[in-house]
Each structure stands twice: as C-alpha cells, then as structure tokens.
Amino acid sequence: MHHTTYMKAGNTDDAVARMADGGQLLAGGMTLIPTMKQRLANPETLVDLAGCGLAGIEDQGDSIRIGAMTRHADVAGSDLVRGAIPALAALAGGIGDRQVRNRGTIGGSVANNDPSACYPAAVLGLGGTVHTDRRDIAADDFFTGMFETALDEDEMITAVSFPKTGKAAYVKFPNPASRYAMVGVFVASAVDGTRVAVTGAGSDGVFRHAGMEAALDAGFSAGSLDGITVDADEMISDIHASGDYRAHLVREIAKRAVAAC
Amino acid sequence: MTMVNLTLNGKQVSADVPDNTLLVTFIRETMGLTGTHVGCDTSQCGACVVHVDGESLKSCTMLAAGAEGASVTTIEGIADGDSLHPMQQAFHENHGLQCGFCTPGMVMSAIELVQDNPNPSETEIREGLEGNICRCTGYHNIVKSVQAGAKMMGG
Ligand SMILES: Cc1cc2nc3c(=O)[nH]c(=O)nc-3n(C[C@H](O)[C@H](O)[C@H](O)COP(=O)(O)OP(=O)(O)OC[C@H]3O[C@@H](n4cnc5c(N)ncnc54)[C@H](O)[C@@H]3O)c2cc1C
Ligand code: FES
Ligand code: FES
C-alpha cells in the first residue's frame, strides 16, 4: 500500500472542503482499503467520515432516511427497516459476510456503484433518493454507468431515502467466492408502478428492465415474465459467467423475486 | 506518521506509525502479537478477524488510525490465564482445526456469533462464518466445535 495521509473530518462541510483539496473519503473502507492494498487506488489523503455523525435511520412518514455512514449490519438489524421495507433489511443482511456488514456503509456502496453491488438495486428498484451535501438526486438520475454516478468530483452523499413498501423483494445469485451478486434483481411495487432493477449483470452497471416492468404491470405474477427476453449483448461476460448465462439468470432470478414479493 | 492509542487485550498501548498502517500490521508487527493471521489481500479469508469494541472485524481492512481510542481484542486476549476460552476449548476437543491457520479468525468470529445467538443451528453457524475460509477441515468439525462452544458459553 502506498503512503497516504490520514485525517478525520469533523462534519460534512469539513469533509467536502477536504475533498475539494484532493482528499478521498473513507467510509467503511471495505472497498477502498482492498483497492489501496492492490495499489489500484493511491489517494494522497484519506478523509475518514467516522466522526461526521452521519449514521442513523429515521422514519419520515412515507419514507425512511438512512444516513450515509449507517453500516449494513445496522440496516439489517433495524426494526424500523424490517417493519416498513423488509426487502431492504434482507438485502443489507445478505451483503458479503458478517465482518463486511460490521464496517461497510450505505453511502460507500452507493457512491462506488460497483456493477455487482446490492444496494444500487434497492435504490433504483424502490425509486429512492440520494441526498448529498448540495442537492437531492433521484435514483433514476443517479447511476450513470459502471462505477459512475451523477456525483460531482467533490460531492458527498449524506443520506439515502427510500419510499416505504411492503411489496418488494431482492433475490441474489451470489458469486460463491466473493458473495457479490452475479445477478441480483430487486422488484418493487412503487407509486408509479412496478420497478425491476437488475444488478451484477449489466455492462453499464445497475439498470431497470422496462419489458419486465410492463409485463408485471399487466399481471403481477412470476409467469408474466415467461416470454421476456434479456439482451445477452448488454450483459457482462467474464470468467464467472458468459453474457448468455447472465441473461438467462436475470429472468429466472426476477421470477423468484416476483414470487417472493 | 500518526500516534495511535488503543486498548489491546485490556492493556493501554500507543505507537507512532505510518498513516497507511493496517490494524493487523499494528497488532502483528508493532505490538508483536502474531496470533492474528493474514491469509489474503482481498478481504475475503477472515484469518485476521479481531474484535473492536466487541464487534468482529477484518483487521486487514481497517487502518490502525481508525481504531484510535478503541478496545481491541485478539485471539491472545480471550483465555483466562491458563484456562482456554470455552470456544478455544471446544475447537481443541472437537478437532476443529488441522493446520490452524484459519483458527484465530474462526474463533473470534464464532464468539461474536454465539454472543448474538446463544443457540445457533447448523445453518446459522455456516452462514455466520461465511467470512472465514478454511482450506483444511471441510468445515464439518468447525460447525461441531461452534455448537459445543455455544453450549460451554452457556447457550
Ligand atoms: C469480502 C467482501 C464481500 C462483499 N460483498 C458484497 C456484496 O455481496 N454486496 C455488496 O453490495 N457489496 C459487497 N461488498 C462491498 C461492501 O458492501 C462495501 O462496504 C461497499 O461497497 C463500500 O462501502 P464502504 O463503506 O466500505 O466504502 P469505502 O470502501 O470506504 O468507500 C468506497 C468508495 O466510496 C467513496 N465514498 C464513501 N463514502 C462516501 C460518501 N458518503 N459520499 C461520497 N463518496 C463516498 C469512497 O471515497 C470510495 O471511493 C463486499 C466487500 C468485501 C470486502
Ligand atoms: S487477511 Fe484475509 S480477510 Fe483479512
Ligand atoms: S485448519 Fe487449515 S485453514 Fe483451517
């Protein structure tokens, strides 16, 4: 690991100012530290967000607001989340392993937009909102490509909010070694109709599948997806699975998610 | 350099270390406690698991500076003098290890698992130890050890 200078930010403004000076934010470190160890990231300055007071889960009536530094284990264990959006609590409880969940945060996961990460599927599938130090960004505008988001260079996520819905489910086909999603599908009944968000599979990262959404709006059952095709050319093809295999899995996993709703 | 002050197995320790020092490096190299192992560089194997303020964490994926002021417990800190911690005793009696490389992390993860769930089923144990990889045992005797350890811990 290359040399770096470590500092703690005291609050959001402080963190953003240090980012503007070239610092890189450190949340749970469960992505950033392994990347630094492999020398794929070499930040000169690390700005630890642990002291910024951004952890916590709030009931906002129709929605739940989760602070950026809230750990996966805390979302998985929250009575509020388990009661109002059980699929979201279950998703958080299925990320990586216990030790990853004890450190990894929602802000880090959403900011990173790893094409195999779980949270992006929930944010897009539930039609959530990403709150930053300067604005609110709708899920549909936030994820712009593999590891790409609408965040400015020095913009920081402060929280993510999710509309409440009991009718939602996330099913993941995990890579057995890493536990990341080889394919993960989040299906939710939202105010604007059914939303189907797919992670792990798309070569541009997380995406919604309009064909499945229309089929489910016409009739909400796993069987409605039988005739749907998923374009293998738009899938990731790698050592773990070919594009064809992933395309097939997307429909199968989506059917399981619908059945679980 | 950063001055890191923390409690390690009940003792107050401090050292001035480079900012990029991992907690596991601080434990093994700065403090000389080599019971905590490093088995990978991808944060996947769990050989490095320690407790920080009572929770299990991969010490290879945290900076020592991030543990400032925390209470860290390693495998060296769980026995009571000459008598092993019940979970260590259970691994010993149930042949829960072969080469022993994964064992410190397994034991530390298993203790947290049982503290949260005093009476875990086989499935709960297998799921609870997802972050710990063993290349020798095939896990069977590890599961048996954790079940026995849970009973001995009062579950
Ligand atoms: C063994 C293992 C298994 C895993 N399995 C899964 C899995 O199954 N599913 C899954 O979804 N994830 C998985 N992960 C990833 C895990 O969920 C990470 O915690 C997460 O992707 C990153 O969150 P973090 O808090 O650790 O962020 P960090 O690693 O600290 O940061 C990640 C990136 O986000 C930036 N960042 C952090 N916080 C903010 C913020 N508030 N605003 C703007 N930018 C920010 C950082 O600068 C950095 O670039 C796994 C990780 C490991 C090590
Ligand atoms: S050394 Fe492998 S997870 Fe820490
Ligand atoms: S006993 Fe050898 S790795 Fe587990």
Please say if the pLDDT value at position A110 is more than 80: yes
φ/ψ (deg, to 5) at B51: -100, 135
Q: Give me the mean pLDDT over the B27-48 stretch.
A: 97
Residue A118 pLDDT:
98
Verify that A37 and A97 share a domain, yes or no: no
Tokens of A158: 């402060």
Q: Give me the mean pLDDT over the A20-47 stretch.
A: 96
Element holding A37 (H helix, E strand): helix A32-37
ipTM: 0.96
Verify that A156 and A57 share a domain, yes or no: yes
Q: How far is CA A260 from CA A167, A194, A214, A256, in A?
A: 9, 14, 19, 6
Q: Are A184 and A199 in contact (CB under 8 A)?
A: yes
**Buried b vs exposed e over A56-79: b needs ≥16 C-beta within 10 Å?**
ebeeeeebbbbbbbbbbbbbbebe
Counting ligands in written order, which one lies closest to the CA of residue B98? 3
CATH number at residue A31: 3.30.43.10
Verify that A18 and A93 share a domain, yes or no: no
CATH number at residue A248: 3.30.390.50
A167-224 confidence digits (pLDDT tens): 999 999 999 888 899 999 999 998 889 999 999 999 999 999 999 999 999 999 999 9
Output the average pLDDT for chain B.
97
B68 conformational bin, left if phi > 0, alpha if psi -120 to 50, beta if neither: beta
Interface test with A, best of B1, B41, B43, B102 (most A CBs within 10 A): B43
CATH number at residue A98: 3.30.465.10
From A123, A144, A163, give the residue that closes a domain: A163
A100 Cβ below 6 A of ligand 1: yes
Residue A217: give the domain boundaries: 168-260
Helix axes B140-152, B103-116, angle to 10 degrees: 50
Q: Are B89 and B121 in contact (CB under 8 A)?
A: no
Q: Are A204 and A124 in contact (CB under 8 A)?
A: no
Verify that A188 and A236 share a domain, yes or no: yes
Residues 6+ apart with CB under 8 A from A126: A85, A88, A139, A162, A163, A165, A168, A186, A188, A190, A195
With H, G, I as helix, E, B as strand and everything else as coil, classify residue A67. Answer: strand
Verify that A146 and A69 share a domain, yes or no: yes
Verify that A172 and A254 share a domain, yes or no: yes
- Asked if the Cβ–Cβ distance from B19 to A4 is below 8 Å, we say yes
Letter for the amino acid at A97?
A: D
B111-134 confidence digits (pLDDT tens): 999 999 999 999 999 999 999 999
From A140, A163, A186, give the residue that closes a domain: A163
Which residues on B lie below 8 Å from A41 (Cβ)?
Answer: none
Please state which of the ranges A176-190, A243-257, B85-99 shows the lowest mean pLDDT.
A176-190
Could you give the CA distance from residue A103 to residue A109 in angstroms, rounded to a whole number?
11
Q: Give me the mean pLDDT over the A136-148 stretch.
A: 97
- Atom 3 (ligand 2): residue with closest C-alpha? B43
Overall domain count for chain A: 3
Letter for the amino acid at A243?
A: G
For chain B, give the percent of residues with pLDDT over 90: 99
Residue A96 pLDDT:
95
Residue A108 pLDDT:
98
- Asked if the Cβ–Cβ distance from A98 to B42 is below 8 Å, we say no
Please give the CATH topology (third level) of the domain spanning B2-76.
Ubiquitin-like (UB roll) (3.10.20)
Please say if the pLDDT value at position A252 is more than 80: yes
With H, G, I as helix, E, B as strand and everything else as coil, classify residue A157. Answer: strand
Which residue ranges does chain B devote to CATH 1.10.150.120? 86-152
- Asked if the Cβ–Cβ distance from A30 to B61 is below 8 Å, we say yes
Question: What's domain B86-152's architecture?
Answer: Orthogonal Bundle (1.10)
What's the B93 CA to ligand 2 centre distance in angstroms? 26
Verify that A119 and A141 share a domain, yes or no: yes
Verify that A57 and A157 share a domain, yes or no: yes
pLDDT band at B155 (very low <50, low <70, confident <90, very high): low
Element holding A45 (H helix, E strand): strand A45-48
Verify that A147 and A95 share a domain, yes or no: yes
What's the B92 CA to ligand 3 centre distance in angstroms? 13
A38-91 confidence digits (pLDDT tens): 999 999 999 999 999 999 999 999 999 999 999 999 999 999 999 999 999 999
pLDDT band at A1 (very low <50, low <70, confident <90, very high): confident
Name residues contacting ligand 2 (CB within 6 A): B 38-40, 43-48, 58, 60
From A128, A163, A198, give the residue that closes a domain: A163
Q: Which of A63, A93, A66 is nearest to A77 (CA)?
A: A93
pLDDT band at A22 (very low <50, low <70, confident <90, very high): very high
Output the average pLDDT for chain A.
96
Please say if the pLDDT value at position B147 is more than 70: yes
β-strands A207-208, A193-199 pairing: antiparallel
Which residue ranges does chain B devote to CATH 3.10.20.30? 2-76
